[in-house]
Amino acid sequence: MLLKDKYNALVYTGKEKVELQERTLIPPKEDEVTIKIRRVSICGSDLGAYRFPSERFAVQLVLGHEFSGDVAAVGKNVTKLKVGARVTANPMIPCGKCFFCKRGETNLCGNRKSMGTAIGGVRTDGAMQEYVTVKESMVIPIADTVSYQAAAMLEPCGVTLACAKKGYTQDEKSVVIIGVGPIGLLILKFLKAMGVPKVICIDRMQNRLEKAKECGADLVIWADDTEAELLVKQATEGYGADRVIIAAGVGSAINQSFRFVRNGGCVVLVALMHEQVTIDPMEIVGRGLKFYGSYMFQSEMKEAAKMLADQRLHVEDLVTSVFPLEEGEKAFALLTDPQNQEIKVQLSVS
């Protein structure tokens, strides 16, 4: 595969600013792989960085951690990958030495770094560029039958599969999902693949509720419907759902979840909320509720890759627009427009 000496990268340069910059390609180190990017998805966390500058996303950073591409070069000690292989990568870079890493809970590693962020005080460029170089251990092969478009959704598939499994029991009859953006819709797909009999989806955007119906939701409810609680109860024999999954990053969803879940049920929070919320602890204690946080994943990204290869999972329908990398600024502006109706937007790298 012919490599360029110079290549383009979409760089985050400040509040609501990204710009195309030229970079010089550096050969991979002995245990590294250089990937020619084909597709990269824009994640909610990328939008958060774009809108709200923080230490987590230092300026002059290449965003993007949901991607697919081809192996373009390998280091001398790389043995499992060949040039031309179709791949993606787990963007988390755990330390491998701490208490959590030794337990296999790499998603909880406090010393981790992550592609497209400055977590740990180190700027780690992501995939919104023509090439990205990562450790061989991070790479996940993708089957020839899986499109680049679908493979660039595997990281959020890992997040949502881990969430769908959190608190799941084999006798589960009903789940409410609050918020059916890209994360909520993927959770819906996994819950139906797992055989959950009834999944109820709640959102404020009509187009997302319509998409939820297409993806298999058994009931959709407008979030501002004054009878939302009654509708959930009517659909769950009057008791409420066995589990409520919060995929909307608004604090009010937590107290709303208590109204939808049955006594002894389970609430799972996967949305990244950046606000303080006041709750009544007796809602949890007095009703015997279980409350879980679901963060990232462990083996689930590889599990989802197998599901895509086996055609037990389809995700292309969630991609609503594709922009060339050179129009990345336009894509970010679109997604932050208050009138935005997009579900998932990807950048195509020629």
Q: For residue range 188-225, list pLDDT tens digits in order.
A: 999 999 999 999 999 999 999 999 999 999 999 999 99
Residues 313-338 have pLDDT tens digits of 999 999 999 999 999 999 999 999 98
Residue 53 confidence (pLDDT) above 90: no
Output the six-digit token pair for 306: 């197998």
Amino acid 178: pLDDT: 98
Strand 32-41 relative to strand 86-89: parallel, antiparallel, unpaired? unpaired
How many other C-beta atoms lie within 10 A of the C-beta of residue 2? 5
Q: Are 54 and 37 in contact (CB under 8 A)?
A: no
């990053």: which residue's tokens?
249
CA angle 164, 170, 172 (to 5 degrees): 70
Helix (H) / strand (E) containing 282: helix 282-285
pLDDT tier for residue 350 given thresholds of 50, 70 and 90: confident
Contact partners, residue 296, CB within 8 Å, separation at least 6: 92, 107, 158, 159, 162
Give whole-number Cα distances, 252 to 54, 178, 249, 255, 264, in Å.
24, 11, 9, 6, 21
Strand 66-74 relative to strand 61-62: parallel, antiparallel, unpaired? unpaired
Residues 232-257 have pLDDT tens digits of 999 999 999 999 999 999 999 999 99
Output the six-digit token pair for 65: 């951690």
Ramachandran quadrant class, 167 (left: phi over 0; alpha: psi -120 to 50; beta: rest): left
Contacts of residues 325-331 at CB distance under 8 Å and 24 or more positions apart, as own/partner, are 325/8, 325/10, 325/20, 325/40, 325/128, 325/129, 325/130, 325/349, 325/350, 326/8, 326/20, 328/10, 328/18, 328/20, 328/128, 329/10, 329/18, 329/19, 329/20, 331/42
Residue 121 confidence (pLDDT) above 90: no
Give whole-number Cα distances, 133 to 115, 130, 292, 334, in Å.
10, 10, 35, 29
Amino acid 1: pLDDT: 65
Bridge partners, 132 (sequence order) = 35
Mean pLDDT of 134-156: 97
């949890």: which residue's tokens?
284
Amino acid 54: pLDDT: 84
Residues 278 and 292: their CA atoms lie apart, in Å, by 17
Flag the least confident range among 74-78, 93-97, 118-122, 316-320: 118-122
Residues 255-285 have pLDDT tens digits of 999 999 999 999 999 998 888 999 999 999 9
